[in-house]
């Protein structure tokens, strides 16, 4: 942990400088999105009611998860799209698992398009799917194939990180393998700002090294404790102004608030997050 803290301090992830970058000003007009996983214990019980509450808080976009048997939260793609439209919400992106890629991926693409998605994101790799660098190389090849199929339907494929991709295996990091061995046009990345920071990496440096490859972000904060736990956006130590100032370099098109664990009702947490973003980022 000491090494990680030292690295973060050196790279300046948590610096508090003033920002005048035109990219930051431009991106201040972006719509605030929400990854619905934050509300996973609520949304399956009352999908329509929860989406109405999300919209009432000021969120304009949502990112789905849990696609199963051709449905989103128990609704057909058309039904889900209709509920979103009623609440003036768009659905630019959705999360999928590796099993979806090896299953009926074409059906998943068809349903994603019907539900209004422009991006399909590989959300997470199970521990037994990422035991070695060879596993990462095989998955990179799978992502290229999945990305090609998405491209034919006018959808962009992407990968969402946690922290394990930055752990070295046989002297290499899985994330580096993905960046190197996937086609730049077929596979983009959804950078989780919490997890890359937790891993001791600087998201801004990542943008500079791979410009234009990060059209999607997960915006979540890290508390100022030894545990470095999840907290509401603006309530922690991640310098979002610095990161948003580099949004043009990253190629960011959409960003989604997410909080894996909330101290109380998730609705309270996502309200605090959007209030911070509206006051400090999206004006």
**Phi-psi map region of 74: left, alpha, beta (phi>0 left; psi -120 to 50 alpha):** left
Let me know if residue 17 belongs to a domain.
no
- At 192, which helix (H) or strand (E)? strand 187-192
Helix and strand numbers (H, E) in the chain are 14, 12
- pLDDT of 191 over the 90 cut: yes
Distance CA 149, CA 20 (A): 40
Let me know if residue 224 belongs to a domain.
yes
Q: pLDDT digits over 152-181, tens only?
A: 999 999 999 999 999 999 999 999 999 999
Q: pLDDT digits over 201-215, tens only?
A: 999 999 999 999 999
Can you give the CATH number for the domain in which 173 is found?
3.20.20.150
Query: What is the per-residue pLDDT for 30?
Result: 74
Let me know if residue 50 belongs to a domain.
yes
- Split at pLDDT 50, 70, 90, the class of 57 is very high
Number of domains forming the structure of the chain: 1
- Split at pLDDT 50, 70, 90, the class of 7 is very low
Residue 179's nearest CA partner among 129, 213, 212, 153 is 213
Query: What is the per-residue pLDDT for 78?
Result: 97
Q: pLDDT digits over 112-160, tens only?
A: 999 999 999 999 999 999 999 999 999 999 999 999 999 999 999 999 9
Answer yes or no: are the C-beta atoms of 90 and 64 closer than 8 Å.
no
Q: DSSP letters of 36-87?
A: GGGGHHHHTT-HHHHHHHHHHTT--EEEE---BTTBBTTB-HHHHHHHHHHT
Let me know if residue 131 belongs to a domain.
yes
The values of phi and psi at residue 142, to 5°, are -60, -40
Domain of residue 265: give its range. 2-7+22-280
The whole-model pTM stands at 0.90
- The mean pLDDT value for 104-117 works out to 98
Query: What is the per-residue pLDDT for 172?
Result: 97
Q: What tokens does 202 get?
A: 């600087």
Distance CA 163, CA 124 (A): 11
- pLDDT of 87 over the 70 cut: yes
Let me know if residue 239 belongs to a domain.
yes
Let me know if residue 71 belongs to a domain.
yes
- The mean pLDDT value for 189-203 works out to 98
- pLDDT of 72 over the 60 cut: yes
Let me know if residue 12 belongs to a domain.
no
* 3-class secondary structure, 26: helix
Let me know if residue 140 belongs to a domain.
yes
């Amino acid at each position: 942990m000491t090494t990680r803290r030292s690295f973060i301090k050196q790279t300046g992830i948590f610096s508090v400088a003033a920002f005048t970058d035109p990219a930051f000003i431009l991106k201040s007009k972006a719509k605030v999105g929400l990854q619905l996983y934050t509300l996973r214990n609520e949304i399956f019980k009352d999908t329509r009611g929860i989406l109405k509450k999300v919209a009432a808080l000021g969120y304009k976009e949502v990112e789905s998860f849990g696609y199963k048997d051709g449905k989103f939260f128990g609704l057909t793609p058309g039904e889900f799209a209709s509920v979103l439209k009623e609440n003036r919400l768009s659905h630019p992106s959705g999360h999928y698992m590796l099993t979806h890629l090896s299953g009926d991926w074409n059906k998943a693409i068809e349903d994603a398009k019907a539900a209004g998605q422009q991006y399909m994101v590989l959300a997470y790799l199970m521990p037994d799917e990422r035991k070695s660098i060879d596993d990462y190389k095989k998955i990179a090849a799978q992502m290229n194939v999945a990305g090609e199929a998405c491209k034919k339907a006018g959808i962009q494929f992407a990968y969402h990180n946690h922290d394990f991709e930055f752990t070295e295996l046989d002297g290499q990091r899985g994330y580096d393998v993905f960046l190197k061995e996937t086609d730049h046009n077929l596979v983009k990345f959804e950078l989780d700002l919490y997890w890359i920071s937790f891993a001791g990496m600087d998201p801004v440096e990542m943008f500079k090294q791979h410009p234009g490859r990060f059209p999607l972000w997960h915006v979540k904060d890290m508390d100022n404790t030894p545990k470095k736990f999840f907290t509401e956006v603006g309530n922690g130590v991640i310098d979002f102004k610095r990161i948003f100032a580099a949004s043009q370099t990253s190629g960011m098109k959409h960003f989604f608030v997410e909080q894996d664990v909330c101290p109380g009702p998730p609705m309270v947490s996502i309200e605090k997050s959007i209030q911070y973003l509206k006051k400090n980022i999206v004006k």
